[in-house]
Structure 1
């Protein structure tokens, strides 16, 4: 049977106040004492009484999210994977996770109401938009927060975790250029989201260095579902000069794109090459496609875990400075990329 705070304190020869302060990250408790307390917690299975702790500390031991909802807004398995990582870390520290839905026009009021309620100790936001007004709102609330992603423009003095989306699609495009491709297409996420803006920027930068413009008719920006990927690829393949190289912002989009390629009787990796951004989704592994996909890889679950670590550290006072992390992606080459077909296998101009 797990011990209570009084029993744990007696076992350690410490006051209940000292043990409580050690568990809550108060800086006046030295590192050696905190280490002893945490070791005893693991050995005894002690679980803090959150109701009592809330009364004593004024903390809710909860992380909050305001989730935009609207008619026609698709659910997103990518966000589910991110939340899984965040939830796993929250459970490890006995934190709760509070989701407050709001229509986009009421996000600001919902943030303020949630912060004022005392039901959460920290907030995070995701799916960043250019010039995103939510950052200034959170900065005004005097509550720890972090951004998954980055805005474009405006102040940069806020904590964030993001991946180098520009670099990811720059590197992917360079690989395809080195394979001789000259006719490119892009199946991207929604045009107002900054990850999609930056991925397009990285692709266009690499193409520009090779003297190539991305044809507006060979671009799609839409919700990241397999159906959107399928329809976009069908449209591209019916063009007067179809692409031989395609970048997809998700393996979910790639699933639909590959379906259209197969229906057209084309061979992936020979007739047309494809690179997808892969968020390491457990039920959609790029290596399990009939033709394994080349990917730019970054784990959404790991990002969710890191966001939780930062917020919990901020709440418990173990982390004193805001973090800004920009993660590089891995470029993993598989069979979906190959040399360009003869019709466009021309030398690429060096940068």
Structure 2
């Protein structure tokens, strides 16, 4: 079915149908739903070239994806991408991935924008004063950041979870349980989320006159092996921690393995709290001891970012608005009072 046939069937102009499919604000929600339902029912998909000619829009969301020998496939990214795809699939949007070495990201962004390949882009894993965010702001393309970049002198659109409050609340709970030797196994401290998580834990400990000692901190890519190595070194050191805060469930797999291999128990010897991005294939309640977690769905974040990018493309959202989601603290069996 082509656009004319779909328009004739709905008794609407081709312009109205095209605008409804591309999210233009002047089309009513009722008409938009009617057109979308008919398009889905009859298998209609707009021709990309025709859509660009008719609307000036490509119907594409862009992402510059870091590649190279030092870049691993991150399960967090895959889950986020699944959420973004869930929304894009139902709203006639496609995703364009542009691979780039770490030192060529800015060049790739310039090329993508200059070639008008995409209508909007998103940025992930932001760092303080992130040059990618500054560049996109200068280039004038609609964009949104998954996370936040501190140290910029302009407002920009972002979606983030409240990492600082999440790890503040988790550390405070451990202090309330009598733990004075709390360790933090964090993600890459070059990224803002990890900085905020450390800040939250420090603030909670300081409120009780405690400190997050340097010897009780580890930072690395969030893999199972890094979690194992970090926990092993912490627990074999002098005055080992009685509680560990961990920045991901994937790292927590290694933490639990290290505790078991050292002949220790959870929570008898070590209490553990991890961050849970709500993976369907890795659930905290299915650990040998159900894990207490700070919880926020990264898949839902992907869906929301796609929704906001679609709104930016259609003109429904134009302000550089930040959005911060609260994080749940879910208490399970992996924490207990500190041994006296």
Regarding TM over 0.5, the answer is yes
Displacement after TM superposition at 1:42 (Å): 4.7
Q: Which ranges in structure 1 are unaligned for 5 or more consecutive residues?
A: 343-351
Displacement after TM superposition at 1:183 (Å): 0.5
> Which residue number corresponds to residue 187 of structure 2?
189
Listed one character per residue, the Cα deviations across residues 204-262 of structure 1 (whole Å, up to 9, x for unaligned) are 00000010111111110011111111111111111121100100000111110110101
Displacement after TM superposition at 1:189 (Å): 0.4
> Which residue number corresponds to residue 348 of structure 1?
none
- 2:300, 2:29 → 1: CA distance? 27
Q: TM-score, normalization: structure 1?
A: 0.92
Q: Which ranges in structure 2 are unaligned for 5 or more consecutive residues?
A: none
Q: Is the 8 A contact 1:59 1:118 kept in 2?
A: no
> Which residue number corresponds to residue 91 of structure 1?
89
Q: Is the 8 A contact 1:163 1:298 kept in 2?
A: yes
- 1:108, 1:42 → 2: CA distance? 38
> Which residue number corresponds to residue 127 of structure 1?
125
> Which residue number corresponds to residue 349 of structure 1?
none
With 55-64 and 210-219 compared, the bigger mean Cα shift is at: 55-64
Q: TM-score, normalization: structure 2?
A: 0.95
SS class of match (2:199): helix
SS class of match (1:140): helix
Pick closer, same or farther for the CA change 1:34–1:235 going to 2, 3 Å.
Answer: closer
- 1:31, 1:213 → 2: CA distance? 54
Listed one character per residue, the Cα deviations across residues 117-159 of structure 1 (whole Å, up to 9, x for unaligned) are 1211111101010111111101111211000000122235100
SS class of match (1:63): strand
Matched length: 340
- 2:314, 2:171 → 1: CA distance? 43
- 1:91, 1:264 → 2: CA distance? 47
> Which residue number corresponds to residue 77 of structure 1?
75
With 55-64 and 80-89 compared, the bigger mean Cα shift is at: 55-64
Q: Is the 8 A contact 1:295 1:332 kept in 2?
A: yes
Cα RMSD, aligned residues only:
1.6
- 1:34, 1:232 → 2: CA distance? 52
Displacement after TM superposition at 1:31 (Å): 4.7
> Which residue number corresponds to residue 20 of structure 1?
18
Displacement after TM superposition at 1:33 (Å): 4.0
